[in-house]
Structure 1
Amino acid sequence: MARPPRATRTQSSVTSLRRFRGNSPRPPSRASALRGAAGVLLLAAAVALPCAVLYRAAVDTTEPVYIPRARRPLLELNPPPRPLVQVPDPAEHGGFDPFPVDDLDSEDLRLELVLQEASMDNKTVILTTLNAAWASPGSVIDLFIDSFRRGVGTSSLLRHLVIVAFDWKAYTQCVKIHPYCFALTTEDVDFSQEKRFQTVGYLQMMWKRLDFLRLVLEKGYSFIFSDADIMWFRNPFPFFYSDGDFQIACDHYVGNATDLRNIANGGFNYVKSNDQSIEFYKFWYSSRFRYPGYHDQDVFNFIKHDPYTTDIGLTIKFLSTSYFGGI
């Protein structure tokens, strides 16, 4: 770039010292220059040291950046509706039983109401059962519900889940964590305690559950029944058979969905409501007298070979362990 004319330089450099011949100050002595340089260095050090300390303090005291969770529970983002039936606590009302055994009409009405609210458009619901042994916070039922939130295509199914409580404690815990709960009355039997496999209490609970499922079918509702200790990793509907009235998981699957040699597991099944399934559930429930001491799963594996099951016209499909495994 060309050097600007002198006139231009003097006009634009208004902050520079202009010197005129004859009145220029004498140059400072060597000692004065050294004293001036030392003063500048001391001033620079005095300014730089506090700045360095402040910078260090700022770096050391900076709090970590908070990153919010990318995933929050479904019911935390969308609080569930209040329970369909508000019931007084019996402890506050002198032991009052909110669901008297002889008030069958009331129980039937409550069941119809909760099924209507939870059902899909095709009148299908998802059912599980719960007693006090599995109802405490952080227990099996919380894991069960959380699996719906985390599974592939399962979060939307949570709104169709009805939890059937066998006792008052299970019911009161249920309404705290889920909108659709139903208290099932039990006559002269305490189902609140843990029932060990094959004990009398366990068998009574299993048969009570089976009879309840028959009632759901009679009301015109199809259902998926799932034990509460089963985790839902993905939406099961694409893996069901369109022509199956009764579809059940297996402990042992031989590779053919219609082969009666498959060993069924009653912890998970999909049942369509029709005349065949209703009649089969009646037959299944009555067969407990033919096979005393056996639970419903064992009895099913007996009666699947019974000619009457064929006469009913029920189409049974066994679900592959490739998709429904570890049950």
Structure 2
Amino acid sequence: MEAYSRCLEVHPRRCYLMKTAGIDFAGDKVFMTPDYLKMMWRRIEFLGTLLKLGYNFIFTDIDIMWLRDPFPRLSKDVDFQIACDRFNGDNNDIYNNVNGGFTFVQANPRTIDFYNYWYSSRLRYPGKHDQDVFNKIKSSWYTAKTGLKIRFLDTKYFGGFCERGRDLDNVCTMHANCCVGLENKIKDLRQVLVDWENYLSAAKTVDGQKITWRDPENCKKPWW
């Protein structure tokens, strides 16, 4: 509700609050609890609806800090682009470790078909969240049949706590991934903001060393 209220302040006619019987979106949902899984799958269903209405979209989790305009780093010739927890250096390699917190999707028959398939696949993988299921189906025969063009985004530009883009001259977004707990994420994202402000206001080097991110303090423990 806080995010919705803020959206109304900035864009009073462009905000939509998802309401679904039996699903409470009002508070923090603990990772992999039943309410968390319901929320994640409702998100996929909703995004599929946007595609059917003809809208391209960027989806971004609320724990992603935007530092630069990401569009120059996105391709207009790809149907579906997704961030990674770990990037292996190849934008086309389906074995990249994806993160669904940041996606850019273009509305067309291929993406509509894929989102329908993705949402229905939750029934074949009960107890799995959308990201796990995506990893299961991204190389399936049906995904290949749709003709979907997928691009995996380089963490150099779309980084996170799992794998940070160390070059602040290039980074577009920073995601508080590989981290559980709202307070932990908020504290370390505040540190990201301080580092970014120091980068913008100071020389790009200190004592001959290029300015980069400090290690997360609250999210430094393995997330599992």
Q: Which residue in the other structure is 1:305 paired with? A: 139
Shift of 1:174: 3.6
AA matched with 1:206? M
Pair 1:196 & 2:30 matched: yes
- 1:190: Cα distance to partner? 2.0
Q: Which AA in structure 1 matches 2:127?
A: G
Number of the residue aligned with 1:15:
none
Q: Output the CA distance in 2 between the equivalents of 1:303 and 1:248.
A: 14
Residue matched to 1:216: 50
How far did 1:192 drift? 1.2
- Cα offset for 1:229? 1.2
Matched letter for residue 35 of structure 2: G
Confirm or deny that 1:286 pairs with 2:126: no
Q: Which residue of 2 aligns with 1:246?
A: 80
CA distance in 1, matches of 2:19, 2:54: 21
What residue number does 2:8 align with?
175
> What residue in structure 1 maps to residue 154 of structure 2?
320
Q: Could you say what secondary structure the match of 1:221 adopts?
A: coil
Shift of residue 173 of structure 1?
5.1
* Selected match of 1:187 from 11, 21, 30: 21
Q: Which has the higher helix share?
A: 1
Counterpart among 287, 291, 295 of residue 129 in structure 2: 295
1:278 Cα offset (Å): 0.3
Partners of 1:192 and 1:294 in 2: CA distance: 22
Once the two structures are TM-superposed, the CA of residue 181 in structure 1 deviates from its matched residue by 1.0
Report the RMSD for the aligned CA atoms in angstroms.
Answer: 1.3
AA of the residue aligned to 1:253: F
CA distance in 2, matches of 1:299, 1:209: 14
Higher mean displacement: 236-245 or 207-216: 236-245
Partner SS, residue 36 of structure 2 = helix
* Larger CA deviation: 307-316 vs 191-200: 191-200
The secondary structure found in structure 1 opposite 2:94 is coil
For each residue in 1:103-131, what CA deviation from the matched residue of structure 2 results, as whole angstroms up to 9, or x when unmatched?
A: xxxxxxxxxxxxxxxxxxxxxxxxxxxxx
Q: Deviations over 1:226-262 (max 9, x none)?
A: 0111111111111112321000000111111110110
Distance 2:123 2:46 in 1: 18
How far residue 172 of structure 1 moved from its aligned partner, in angstroms, is 4.4
**Letter in structure 2 aligned against 1:175:** L
Q: How does 1:114-153 map to 2 (within 5 A)?
A: 132=1, 135=2, 141=3
Deviation, 1:177, is 4.3
The 5 A counterparts of 1:249-268 are 249-268=83-102
Amino acid corresponding to residue 82 of structure 2 in structure 1? I
Equivalent in 273, 286, 307 of residue 107 of structure 2: 273
- Report the equivalent of 1:231: 65
Count of aligned positions = 160
Code of the residue aligned with 2:70 in structure 1: it is: P
Give 1:193 shift.
Answer: 2.2
Q: Tell me, which stretches of 5 or more residues in structure 2 are unaligned?
A: 161-174, 176-224
Moved over 6 A (4+): none
2: CA distance between counterparts of 1:279 and 1:299?
16
Residue of structure 2 in register with 1:76 after alignment: none
Letter in 2 for 1:201: D
Question: Match of 1:176, SS?
Answer: helix
CA distance in 1, matches of 2:153, 2:127: 27
> 1:184 offset after TM fit, Å?
1.6
Q: CA deviation at 1:267?
A: 0.2
